[in-house]
Amino acid sequence: MSGLGKGITAASVGRILKNRGYWVTAVKIDPYLNIDAGTMNPAQHGEVFVLKDGGEVDLDLGNYERFLDIELTSPHNITTGKVYRSVIEKERRGDFLGETVQIIPHITDRIKWCIKNAAEEPFPNGTTADVCLVEVGGTVGDIESMPFLEAIRQMRGELPPHDYVLIHVTLIPEDTMGDLKTKPTQHSVKALRELGLHADIIVGRSEHPISANTKRKISAFCDLPQNAVISAATVPDIYEVPMEMEKEGLADVLTAHLGLGKKEIDTAWYRVVTKEYTNRITVAIVTKYGIEDVYISIKEALKHAGRALSTEVKIAWLDAERYERSQLADYDGILIPGGFGKRGIEGKIEAIKLAREKKIPFLGLCLGFQLATIEYARNKAGIADATSEEFGEGTHVIAILPEQEGLTHLGGTMRLGDYVADIRDGTSARNLYGKESIVERHRHRFEVNPKYIPDLESAGLVFSATNKNRMECLELPGHPFFFATQFHPEFKSRPTNPSPPYLGFVEACRMNKRTK
């Protein structure tokens, strides 16, 4: 069912295989009618993750990239909207030669084609994947998921032996006496069987580990070996899940089903994600959405940087409209994330002003970058009514650039995905990245208005990275760490390769804590 942890389970399965030297890719199937996640409310759906090609996708693809150390593209997120649109477009062109277009075979054939197309997409070095993970979102029995489950059923008969394994992630709740109940799993497996699907492996999600007795019961009722019942108890850190599944013997069961040879385990990734902390900092994130799932990539990027610096990063989530301004000085750093709309903007700007004046380490991301520009324009560059074109009347130091004007719809019309940024010599950005040119991912519509850049820079603000006439990074000389990016560096952060701006921010927070 939704929200159970299928994405982390799929990513963990991939990590287990990758640690044995296999090339792994992943596909996420979302049964909603939206073409992509770009126009969906993040407070309802969670974070919109952006891929290198600009695809706006489900947050689970972010987990795949972080766990598997890969970069995916838009075809790796399949939605009902994408599938139906492509089939209807073919029908309008007459590609079906007068056939009656139906769910079976036309929709299911398209789903299978999409899966195979994504699975065969080569990695940058030309290698193709040994294994493709396919996560089917939603809940078994939902009407919207039926065509996808039927396509999955058909694929089993079409693929060679040992080329298919079905892992069913199911809830195993506790009753008031602390006993784990298997009845929901039994009914879930029954629902699968009614659709012609048989689980080869069951991953049982529970708060506490599943006992051998409970595994025997599931094995007996669900018709699979006991060693194919895998306990997935809640753990403190998602990066511990692959290790716990290793202990459960998932790798042996999985490789046997897929006919893969046994290989020695590379434990380097496990050593990185279990590194001990020797320091602790607390960072205030001033947000307008109030839902942590909106900022999963930011949370993980802070965690990656913290691991690299042996520093545990605690997060205080502050509502931009309600937080106590006097409390901000108590935190080791302030982070302003991205977002859309006018609500909560003034609270974010006040937080940026305090970080600048009180020398508190500050990191601004996307909207945070734009608001840092507005704050500096108002309070240091003499543009008292500075604002963004997004927010209404005033002097638009943030605006739609001429080449972006005339857009008639919202979906997919922002600056999305990878863009190159050239970094100025002698800046904090150059020190952080250690190179002249970088590639980072974007998701925004408004830019710093070039008309006001001379005024801002003459007042002391430095735009340290650019893409043509677009500003990409800003910083403030003489401040311990005042840095903001128009792009989203968190989307490329990995446990083994933390994002440079996050590394700099966490290090500055750590130094700030020592000097308090």
CB atoms within 10 A of CB 76: 28
Q: HSE-up of 471 (CA within 13 Å, CB side)? A: 32
Calculate the dihedral angle through the C-alpha atoms of 429, 435, 436, 438, rounding to the nearest 10 degrees: -80
Q: Which helix (H) or strand (E) holds 47?
A: none
Tokens at 210, concatenated:
């599943």
Written as six digits, the tokens of 113 are 């084609």
Q: Are 364 and 483 in contact (CB under 8 A)?
A: yes
Catalytic member of 366, 375, 390, 472: 366
**Cα-flanking dihedrals φ and ψ of residue 167, to 5°?**
-105, 125
Instruction: Supply the Cα-derived Rg of the chain in whole angstroms.
Output: 25
CA distances from 331 to 196, 299, 360, 362 (A): 55, 16, 8, 11
Q: β-strands 333-336, 49-50: how paired?
A: unpaired
Cis bond leading into 402, ω under 30°?
no
Question: In Å, how far from its chain's centre is CA 23?
Answer: 21
Q: How far is CA 307 from CA 57, 276, 304, 488, 503, in A?
A: 27, 8, 5, 20, 10
Query: In the annotation, is 198 catalytic?
Result: no
Task: Go through 336-375 and write b for each residue having 16 or more CB atoms within 10 A of its CB, e for each that does not.
Answer: bbbbbeeebbebbbbbbbbbbeeebbbbbbbbbbbbbbbb
Catalogue the E-assigned strands of 445-514: 447-448, 462-467, 470-475, 482-485
Element counts in the chain: helices (H) and strands (E): 17, 20
Q: Choosing from 390, 440, 490, 507, which is the catalytic residue?
A: 490
Those residues with Cβ within 8 angstroms of residue 471's Cβ, 6 or more apart along the chain or in another chain: 373, 447, 448, 453, 463, 465, 486
At residue 490, the 3 state secondary structure works out as helix
Question: Amino acid letter at 141?
Answer: G
- Residue 180 DSSP class: B
Catalytic residue among 45, 304, 444, 488: 488
Q: How far is CA 231 from CA 9, 165, 208, 209, 255, in A?
A: 11, 18, 9, 6, 18
490 counts as catalytic: yes
Which of 250, 247, 246 shows the shortest CA–CA distance to 228?
Answer: 250
Beta bridge partners of 398: 388, 448
Residues labelled as active-site residues: 366, 488, 490
